[in-house]
Amino acid sequence: MTNIIKADICIIGGGSGGLSVAAGAAQLGKNTVLIEGGKMGGDCLNYGCVPSKSLLAAAQAAQSFRKAETFGIKTTEPDINFSKTHDYVHNVIAGIAPHDSIERFEGLGVKVIPEYGSFIDPKTIKAGETIIKAKRFVIATGSSPSIPPISGLDKTDYLTNETIFDLKEVPEHLIIIGGGPIGLEMAQAHKRLGSKVTVIALDIMENDDPELVKILLKSLSDEGIDFKEKVSIKKVNGGQGQISVTLETEIINGTHLLVATGRSPNVKHLDLEKAGIDYNRSGIIVGANLRTSNKAIYAIGDVTGGPGFTHKAGYDAGIIIRRIVFGMFWTKADYTSLPHATYTSPALASVGLRETAALEKYGKNIKILKWTYSDNDRAKATGETIGLAKVITDKKGKILGASIVGAAADELLAVWILAIEQGIKIGAIANLIYPYPTLGEINKRAASSFYTASLFSDKTKKIVKLLSFLG
């Protein structure tokens, strides 16, 4: 029997963005319906951020055994029980899952329907045997692994981020197709946990600063990860335990294959045409107001294309709450200060413009500020001297972008995110008092270098000499 529900807001998708909208709307008194046909918590909790960072933490623990000799401690190869590592990763997921559960959201007043939803007209969606009519809809269905059209791949056993965390035995030789953050994070994690790893990609970390990427790749190569860059794949074949990847000049044989070549928006179940919603291969088309071509329907997060970050989805959710719940219809998304990070060791994190983009936009009217980890006393004390901070400003000290590669780069980036968001100039960062010794001083030193040329110029020397003469 069909059940009909009327709601103020209906959210399709129970990932980070959708859950944030649902929780906020319900707690602010809106009649809220949430539709989720897969796992609550979406990709981030079940297949992405949480399991990948948990696996990387286990890998870091293993690596600490190998690096102990640096500190005068006898080095030993760690005895890794990968099955228990698997259990650790899934225990972390299980520990967070109650926060994203149906029970919690129903407790907040959200009507949760555990089905996939499909629009049947511009104002109505059907999920299982339930029809929902809502004043506003928010599509937050996320994305899924994008599988490239490689010959033989459809007949080959391969892993994606949705299946690799199910392994209970470490791959003997993991071949990874894709040189983005997911590919590199999984490469380092599995190498440190005992796998031989080969990464194959046309371009590696193409959305990051090439100078910093070079530092990261050298570090990963020094750990023993084999990179095959700027090569095309002719074909793949085989099953788990015996995988063959044929390149232009050689054949790579391994035991497991991970495909990490980007993401595709989850629009398959939605029947967007029936709702009058425009979309393309990249995702649902929205404006800065996050509204679709149907004025009653919004879309947020990965399903709209662009940067596929959990924090972007969370930010989008805040825009939706302000627009729909508080009636602040002038509110628009601004991704100028949207950061991104790759959680390898060393980590790589960026916000704002890269050097090439800044040069393109501002020409020579920019300054490039740098400070190395090797010039930081805390980095020397902890033995983490691989790294570089690069900051881009205009000639007046406006901060245009920042990139950091090195230990805790993802955390160190926060000051630059704030600076770009709030329009704080470089002088304020240069005047920050960081506790000594901390890695944070890298930010201060990079900022202070903005003044180096003028501070030690002949003009300044003459001023100092005059002041000395005047007593």
Q: What is the pLDDT of residues 26-55, one digit of tens each?
A: 999 999 999 999 999 999 999 999 999 999
> How many Cα atoms occupy the beta-carbon half-sphere of 384 within 13 Å?
17
- Taking the CA atoms of the chain, what radius of gyration do you get in angstroms? 25
Mean pLDDT of 58-80: 93
CATH numeric code, 3-40+101-145+264-325: 3.50.50.60
Q: Are 96 and 50 in contact (CB under 8 A)?
A: yes
Model confidence at 263: pLDDT above 80:
yes
Mean pLDDT of 173-182: 97
Token digits for 157?
A: 């056993």
Model confidence at 471: pLDDT above 60:
no
Tell me how far CA of residue 275 lies from CA of 14, 38, 297, in angstroms: 20, 22, 9
Range scoring the smallest mean pLDDT among 11-25, 125-139, 227-241: 227-241
Model confidence at 457: pLDDT above 70:
no
Domain boundaries, the chain: 3-40+101-145+264-325, 153-261, 340-455
**What span, in angstroms and rounded, lies between the C-alpha atoms of 30 and 97?**
24
- 258 sits in which H/E element: strand 256-259
Q: Which residues, 6+ apart, have CB-to-CB distance to 87 below 8 Å?
A: none
Which among 74, 271, 55 is positioned nearest to 182, based on CA atoms? 55
Residue 452 pLDDT: 85
Q: Taken in order 178, 282, 309, 212, is the CA torsion positive or negative?
A: positive
Model confidence at 458: pLDDT above 70:
no
Residue 146 pLDDT: 95
Q: Which residues, 6+ apart, have CB-to-CB distance to 180 below 8 Å?
A: 201, 205, 207, 260, 261, 262
* pLDDT tier for residue 240 given thresholds of 50, 70 and 90: confident
Residue 347 pLDDT: 98
**What span, in angstroms and rounded, lies between the C-alpha atoms of 207 and 183?**
14
Residue 132's CB is within 10 A of a number of other CB atoms, namely 23
Residue 108 pLDDT: 97
Query: 3-40+101-145+264-325 and 153-261 share one CATH topology?
Result: yes
Model confidence at 459: pLDDT above 90:
no
CATH numeric code, 340-455: 3.30.390.30
Tell me how far CA of residue 84 lies from CA of 58, 66, 93, in angstroms: 10, 20, 14
CA angle 205, 384, 376 (to 5 degrees): 105
Residue 467 pLDDT: 57
Q: Are 324 and 136 in contact (CB under 8 A)?
A: yes
- 464 sits in which H/E element: helix 458-469
Average pLDDT, the chain: 95
Residue 453 pLDDT: 72
* pLDDT tier for residue 466 given thresholds of 50, 70 and 90: low
CA angle 297, 302, 304 (to 5 degrees): 45
Backbone angles phi, psi at 122, to 5 degrees: -65, -15
Model confidence at 224: pLDDT above 60:
yes
**What span, in angstroms and rounded, lies between the C-alpha atoms of 8 and 132?**
10
Mean pLDDT of 361-383: 96
> How many Cα atoms occupy the beta-carbon half-sphere of 214 within 13 Å?
4
Model confidence at 184: pLDDT above 60:
yes
- Look at the domain 153-261 and name its fold: FAD/NAD(P)-binding domain (3.50.50)
Which among 462, 460, 447, 454 is positioned nearest to 416, based on CA atoms? 447
